[in-house]
């Protein structure tokens, strides 16, 4: 179930450290489309990192249009849980292309963590990233 060359990828929180790394990894793994969700002021940064287009999360019309129209094979979310009001899980569930598609979040609410730990989250998972081992994993 991981990302394959040719997949379409949505990265929510694309201008943060984890989001930029996800953009670069998706590009390196051969994603056919990489959409970054970030504020307008960070679009150039995310596009230079490898995104094919960006959506401004502060523009409700642009974000709603994406939710209604676009479908993705992989959704990586580093923004949910950043504060009590930030939760992209409902929108992400609508944008999953098919039963192979996955939504992975590196943060989340307590309820989302609980659902993941006890196998109740379906295609949406919260992950714990141990970044201390990244250099070893890439060797």
**Weakest-pLDDT range from 44-58, 62-76, 112-126:** 112-126
**Weakest-pLDDT range from 6-10, 54-58, 87-91:** 87-91
129, two tokens: 């990233």
Q: What angle do CA 95, 88, 28 make, to 5 degrees?
A: 65
Residue 62 pLDDT grade (very low, low, confident, very high; cuts 50, 70, 90):
very high
Residue 50 pLDDT grade (very low, low, confident, very high; cuts 50, 70, 90):
very high
* Dist CA 48 CA 70 (whole Å): 22
What pLDDT, on the 0 to 100 scale, is given for residue 101?
77
Q: 16 or 139: which carries more pLDDT confidence?
A: 16
What pLDDT, on the 0 to 100 scale, is given for residue 18?
85
Q: What is the pLDDT of residues 78-122, one digit of tens each?
A: 887 777 778 787 888 888 888 777 767 766 665 565 565 556 566
Q: What are phi and psi of 88, to 5 degrees?
A: -95, 0
- pLDDT at 63 > cutoff 50: yes
* Dist CA 103 CA 94 (whole Å): 10
pTM, two decimal places: 0.79
Instruction: Calculate the average pLDDT of the chain.
Output: 81
């Amino acid at each position: 179930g991981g990302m394959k060359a040719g997949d379409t990828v949505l990265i929510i929180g694309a201008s943060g450290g984890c989001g930029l790394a996800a953009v670069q990894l998706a590009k390196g793994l051969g994603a056919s489309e990489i959409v970054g969700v970030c504020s307008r002021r960070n679009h150039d940064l995310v596009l230079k990192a490898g995104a094919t287009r960006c959506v401004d999360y502060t523009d409700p019309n642009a974000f709603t249009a994406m939710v209604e129209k676009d479908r993705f094979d992989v959704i990586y979310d580093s923004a949910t849980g950043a504060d009590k009001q930030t939760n992209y899980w409902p929108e992400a569930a609508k944008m999953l292309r098919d039963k192979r598609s996955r939504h992975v979040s590196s943060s989340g609410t307590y309820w989302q963590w609980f659902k993941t730990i006890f196998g109740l989250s379906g295609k949406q998972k919260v992950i714990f990233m141990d970044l201390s081992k990244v250099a070893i994993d890439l060797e």
